[in-house]
């Protein structure tokens, strides 16, 4: 196995804005505050993607996303 691990990317993403997709096709964008080994994530200042692909103005201040709901996370 390589020395690098996928969770290193989560570490690299800390305090940066990430986009994450959860099961059921919802997509959120927000600043990644913390994560744990279950891939539970805390986001700050979160926007939800609308049907037209843009993100909502309305922001959620603090959000906990359950790890097993997550499909992928990326930095743009």
Residues between 11 and 30 with contacts to a copy of itself, criterion CB under 8 A = 11-14, 22-26, 28
In the complex, the smallest distance separating the C-beta of residue 34 from a copy of itself, rounded to whole angstroms, is: 4
| 69 sits near a copy of itself (criterion: CB under 8 A) | yes
Q: Is 4 helix (H, G, I), strand (E, B) or coil?
A: coil
State how far the Cα of 32 lies from the Cα of 19, in Å rounded to an integer. Answer: 9
Per CB under 8 A, which of residues 30..59 are in contact with a copy of itself?
Answer: 33-36, 39-42, 46
- State the minimum distance, in angstroms, from the CB of residue 47 to a copy of itself: 12
CB 64 within 8 A of CB 49: no
> Shortest gap between Cβ of 61 and a copy of itself (angstroms)?
6
The bridge status of strand 26-35 relative to strand 60-65 is unpaired
């Amino acid at each position: 196995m390589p020395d690098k691990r996928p969770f290193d990317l989560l570490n690299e993403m800390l305090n940066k804005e990430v986009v994450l997709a959860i099961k059921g096709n919802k997509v959120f964008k927000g600043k990644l505050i913390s994560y744990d080994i279950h891939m539970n994530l805390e986001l700050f200042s979160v926007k939800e993607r609308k049907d037209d692909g843009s993100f909502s103005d309305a922001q959620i201040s603090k959000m906990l996303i359950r790890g097993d709901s997550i499909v992928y996370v990326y930095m743009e």
